[in-house]
Every structure is written in C-alpha cells, then in structure tokens.
Amino acid sequence: MTETATVRPLDRVYVDKQHPDAYRALAATAQAAKDAAAAAGLDRRLVELVNLRVSQLNACAYCLDLHTRAALRAGETTQRLGVLAAWRDTELFTARERAALALAEATSHPADAGPQTTAYAEARATFTDDEISAVIWVAITMNAFNRVSVMSKHPVRESPATPVH
C-alpha cells in the first residue's frame, strides 16, 4: 500500500511585511510618480491603463484586480478593459493612450531595443517631456509593485460586484 504525499504550495514571504521600510519607500516613489502624472496633466484613466497593461505583462493577479477596480472608479469602461491586452488590434484607444501603452510596454521590457526605439519616438511625437517622464515612472513603479505581489503571492479575494459603466 502506497501513501500519497500531500503537496503543499510553497509558503511565501510577504516581502512588503518582512521589510516594511523598503515597501514604504516604494510606496512613496509610487506616490511621487502618481503626483508627477497629475502635475503633467495625465488623465487618471490613462494612468490606470498603464498600470493595468504593465500588470498584464507581468501576470500580477493582485495588481490586475486592484487597478481594474481603480480604472472603473476613474470612469474606464468594461469594454476597453476587456480588450486592453489586444490594444493594438482595436480603435478604442486614443493616440495618446496608444503612445502611453507602447511606452509602458517598452519600460517593462527594456532589453527589446527595436520596440523601445519605436515606442519612444511615438511618445516624443505625442507627449511633452514631463508626460513622457511621468508615464515611464508610473510603469517603473507598477513593475516594482508587480514583482512584490508576484513574489509574495498576494492573494486575490472575491470582492462585491463592481458597477459597470
């Protein structure tokens, strides 16, 4: 008679709780990026699209859940959120949004020189220096938060239904 071993998921360290000072520094940097985006005049919906697209690229369930709800509160539509992963294949996004999404992707995959050059050129034709910098900082901080949540395996808990816009 053989016994079946019980397989447990790997216990994860919540790195944000383990080193709260480091997490607070990251949160302060993210707040500064959010403030820079607002000061540059970037729409909150655009910022949330950047947060979501970066989180899609990094497969961060926790951040996808959090920022989907934030995007809906900011007035984003479920249709646009539903097709965000395929934003290049739809006309639902403005030129500014498309430029921001391409720049966010280039920031998330900096080793891809060709797409990075193209995205930066498109951003240059669309945004001011302040706006470009703000989009990049939003993407940088979202990438960092994604890594904290993915490596900590932060859980996504069921939440009450979010109103549809």
Q: Find the CATH number of the domain harbouring 44.
A: 1.20.1290.10
Q: What is the pLDDT along the chain (165 residues), one digit of tens a residue?
A: 444 444 434 688 999 999 999 999 999 999 999 999 999 999 999 999 999 999 999 999 999 999 999 999 999 999 999 999 999 999 999 999 999 999 999 999 988 889 999 999 999 999 999 999 999 999 999 999 999 999 999 999 887 765 555
The DSSP result for 37-76, as a single string, is HHHTT--HHHHHHHHHHHHHHTT-HHHHHHHHHHHHHTT-
Per the structure, the count of domains in the chain is 1
Q: Among residues 121, 160, 142, which one has the least CA distance to residue 64?
A: 142
* Residue whose C-alpha is closest to residue 138's, from 39, 69, 61, 59: 39
Task: Evaluate whether residue 12 is within a structural domain.
Answer: no
Rounded distance between C-alpha atoms, residue 4 and residue 64, angstroms: 36
Cβ atoms < 10 Å from Cβ of 60:
26
What is the pTM assigned to this prediction? 0.89
Task: Give the per-residue pLDDT at 11.
Answer: 85
Q: Residue 31 domain-assigned?
A: yes
Asked if residue 158 is part of any domain, the answer here is no
Taken in order 25, 27, 31, 36, the sign of the CA dihedral is positive
Q: For position 139, what pLDDT does the model report?
A: 98
Residue 128 lies inside a defined structural domain of this protein: yes
Residue 6 lies in a domain: no
Residue 3 inside a domain? The answer is no
In this structure, what are the phi and psi dihedrals at residue 126, rounded to the nearest 5 degrees? -115, -35
If you compute the radius of gyration of the chain from its CA atoms, what whole number of angstroms results?
18
Give me the pLDDT at residue 165, please.
53
Cβ(123)–Cβ(99) under 8 Å? Answer: yes
Say if 157 falls within a structural domain.
Answer: no
Domain that holds residue 51: 20-152
